[in-house]
A and B are shown apart, each in its own frame.
Chain A
Amino acid sequence: MTIAHHLDDATLMRYASGDLDEAFLVVVATHLAMCEQCRKAVRYAEELGGEMLFACEPADMNPAALNTLLNRIDADEPALARQEAVRGDLPAPLARKVGQSLENIAWRRVAPGVKRHVIEMDNSTSSSLYMLWIAPGVAVPEHGHGGSEMTLILSGAYRDDLGRFGPGDVADLDEHVEHQPRVEDGAPCICLIATETRARFSGLIGRLMQPFVGI
């Protein structure tokens, strides 16, 4: 898999510092599972955390803390064998949410040539997470975003002003970017999307699309 579009550096740092809400974390982790380059980039970003932890002023500990801990490790059971990694078509962070395969997604048709599957979050969050299935050749109306949005391509491809997005590519967009993706002919495009707030479509068709789609 050749990945051309990667995570924004600010996103790498938010991942490393633990500042992504659930919807965005699932998209970022799913991309990381597909992208060795970004896994390495995240390790760099985590090194900053290690350095700050190393250099920080230590706090006073409860004097009993060490003994409590030593008692706990003495009572600890031998480490369990590591769980067998989840094997399927989809990377583990996404498979936890939607199952092992793209074949079994419960799609709902939301517009001509567009199907959607909304993914439930564990916690209430201001962001939403869903998958879209877009038929070959379909163009999504031009739109900007009310907040940040992240789209990860799982299968198929689309093109917009920023280039071609194929499997593993992530569009990690600021609120100001407007785009008009068009799915390539030949195969549907399936993508995973986190949005901070609902996308705003421009134009009449866009307003009609607004209730249905948020790519």
Chain B
Amino acid sequence: MAPSAVQVRTLERYDGDPDFTALMSRISERDRDAFETLFVHFGPRVKALMLKSGAEHSVAEDIVQDVFMSVWRKADYYAPERGAVSTWIYSIARNARIDRLRRQSSKPYDDISEMEIEASDPDAEEELALVQRADKVAEAMVELPDEQRQIIELAYMHDLPQSEIATRLSLPLGTVKSRMRLAYAKLKQKLEEIR
């Protein structure tokens, strides 16, 4: 992977965690040790995601294998200026979840990431802004009111459809949507503070 013009900072808030961006660039050069380190950190989290999404243990293990095969094969396509390593892995895991647990096709997601890969690199200003991104996302999560964070977690981690979230929480669908919009607005505000 070509080094980017601006060094992307590691996530200092997680002392002792490896520099995942550097790991990804080693993995794209077929470094098994780097791959192992990434797996040790994220494998159990991807499994947790699948369990929360309703998969049996054995299915969750299978999906973890598939997700990390994709990580290995597609390591070249990871671009730090487009987001954190955790976000890239989340999106691969989400696509696997759609294919395996929802039994739908995640092809439209692949079409969009192909486009992103082909698109020219973000400008320098954008890249500078991105170095602080992960911290801002974490800040936004912490500052979200519980009622919004709960909905986000049910959607992203537990794979609950919007309508099912409304039923479980005994809320009108419109309220679930408006809380999602509020959470997005908070995230956007945080991310745009960087500029």
A contact set with B: CB distance below 8 Å:
8-10, 12-14, 16-19, 21-22, 25-26, 28-30, 32-33, 36, 39, 41-62, 65-66, 68-70, 72-73, 76, 79, 82, 85-86, 91-93, 96, 122-123, 174
* A10 proximity list for chain B (CB < 8 A): 162, 177-178, 180-181, 184
Interface size for B (C-beta < 8 A) is: 82
> Interface residues of B: mostly helix, strand, loop or mixed?
helix
Task: List residues of B (75-101) whose CB comes within 8 Å of A's CBs.
Answer: 76, 82-91, 93-95, 97-98
Nearest residue, chain A, Cβ from B90: A49
Task: List residues of B (136-164) whose CB comes within 8 Å of A's CBs.
Answer: 137-138, 140-141, 152-153, 155-157, 159-162
> Interface residues of A: mostly helix, strand, loop or mixed?
helix
* A82 proximity list for chain B (CB < 8 A): 114
**6 residue pairs, one from A and one from B, having the closest CB atoms:** A50-B87, A58-B44, A29-B108, A50-B86, A49-B90, A92-B111
Question: Is A92's CB under 8 angstroms from B138's CB?
Answer: no
* B68 proximity list for chain A (CB < 8 A): 69
A125 to B34, CA, bound (A): 42
Question: Is A45's CB under 8 angstroms from B187's CB?
Answer: yes
Question: Is A16's CB under 8 angstroms from B156's CB?
Answer: yes
A52 to B53, CA, bound (A): 13
Question: Is A53's CB under 8 angstroms from B46's CB?
Answer: yes
